[in-house]
Structures are given as structure tokens and as C-alpha cells.
Structure 1
Amino acid sequence: MDEIAEEYGTSQMLSALLACGDAPEGLSGEVLYGVLAFCYEAILGREDIEVYSLEAELANARCGEVIAFQKGCVLAALGNP
């Protein structure tokens, strides 16, 4: 599927799903970090950022939304809404 996918982010999302599937006893912190990073990279690649830098990512509204969402999910999982 990865080889024929035309939509950017497919590879990263597939990698995130495979990482989740490879953790039948639950996600360790390391694996969860990788899953969240794959998901973020999928969104990042779809944004129109000419030169990738931390400043450019922080200035991008969609990147900020994804970071806030992921942070909220982690905090909720830890019991800190």
C-alpha cells in the first residue's frame, strides 16, 4: 500500500499503525513517542512550509493544533486533564 499511495503522510500513518500493532501488551513510552512523531510528521509534510525549522513549525497553525491535541491526549492518559 505504501508504494502505491499518492497521498503524502500515508507512509507515516502506516508506520504509526504498525507500531501500535506491534505492541500487543500496550505502548511503552518509547513506542508511544514514535507513534506520535509519525503522526506529527504526516501532518507536517502536508503543510506548505517552505523551509523546515522550529520557528516555521511553531508559526504554523496546524502544527500547533496537532501538538496541542497530542499533549492533551497524553495529559488525559496520565489523569491530568
Structure 2
Amino acid sequence: MLDQYEELDEIAEEYGASQMLSALLACSDTPEGLSGEVLYGVLGFCYEAVLDREDVPVCSLEAELENARCREVIAFQKQAVSEPFGNSG
């Protein structure tokens, strides 16, 4: 799997592809299940992919909050994490 990941990562041209590949690799490397730590990493990789696709400077919180897509992803991730616990976000 790691060899295939590295091959795909080298040829990936789409913005955010590397981060999404990293998220998939993290998910596939969890024999005990998706722990909170791994889930945090996966969600982080997915968010970084959005930052890359939206061309948002990672070091600028203000720029992220001004970007509608970033706000949508944050809201989705918060809901997805809260839902199993009966929380509305």
C-alpha cells in the first residue's frame, strides 16, 4: 500500500490530492479501528486538502475564516464528530 501511495503521490497533479491520499493511507493503516488520534489526523489531512484547493494560506486564520468553503468543511467535520454522541454540533 505504501509503495502505491508514493507512486500516486508523485504523479498527482490535482490540488489537495496528496493530502487526500494521506487521509486514505491513515484510514487503511488502522488494524484496531479508527482511534480518536487517527481520526484527528484524517480530518486534518482532509482540511489541508481544502486549504490547498482553495489556495488559502495555511498560516492565516483570518483568511481561512473568510473562505466559505473552509467554513463549510469545519461545520461538516464538527457535525460528523458530534453526531454519534447525540450532540448537534
TM-score (normalizing by structure 2): 0.82
Residue 23 of structure 1 is matched in structure 2 by: 30
In the TM superposition, 1:31-70 aligns within 5 A as: 31-49=38-56, 52-70=59-77
> Could you tell me whether the CA contact under 8 Å between 2:16 and 2:53 is conserved in 1?
yes
Distance (whole Å) between structure 2 residues aligned to residue 22 and residue 51 of structure 1: 26
Larger helix share, 1 or 2: 2
Structure 1, unmatched stretches of 5+, are none
Following TM superposition, by how much is the alpha carbon of 1:50 offset from its aligned partner in structure 2, in angstroms?
A: 5.9
Distance (whole Å) between structure 2 residues aligned to residue 72 and residue 64 of structure 1: 12
Q: Cα 1:44–1:50, aligned 2, differ >3 Å: closer, same or farther?
A: closer
What is the one-letter code of the residue matched to 2:77? Q
Following TM superposition, by how much is the alpha carbon of 1:77 offset from its aligned partner in structure 2, in angstroms?
A: 2.2
Distance (whole Å) between structure 2 residues aligned to residue 51 and residue 74 of structure 1: 23
TM-score (normalizing by structure 1): 0.90
Structure 2, unmatched stretches of 5+, are 1-7
Aligned residue pair count: 81
What is the RMSD of the two structures over their aligned residues, measured on CA atoms? 1.5
Q: Flag the structure with more relative contact order, 1 or 2, with Cα contacts below 8 A and sequence separation at least 6.
A: 1
Distance (whole Å) between structure 1 residues aligned to residue 51 and residue 9 of structure 2: 18
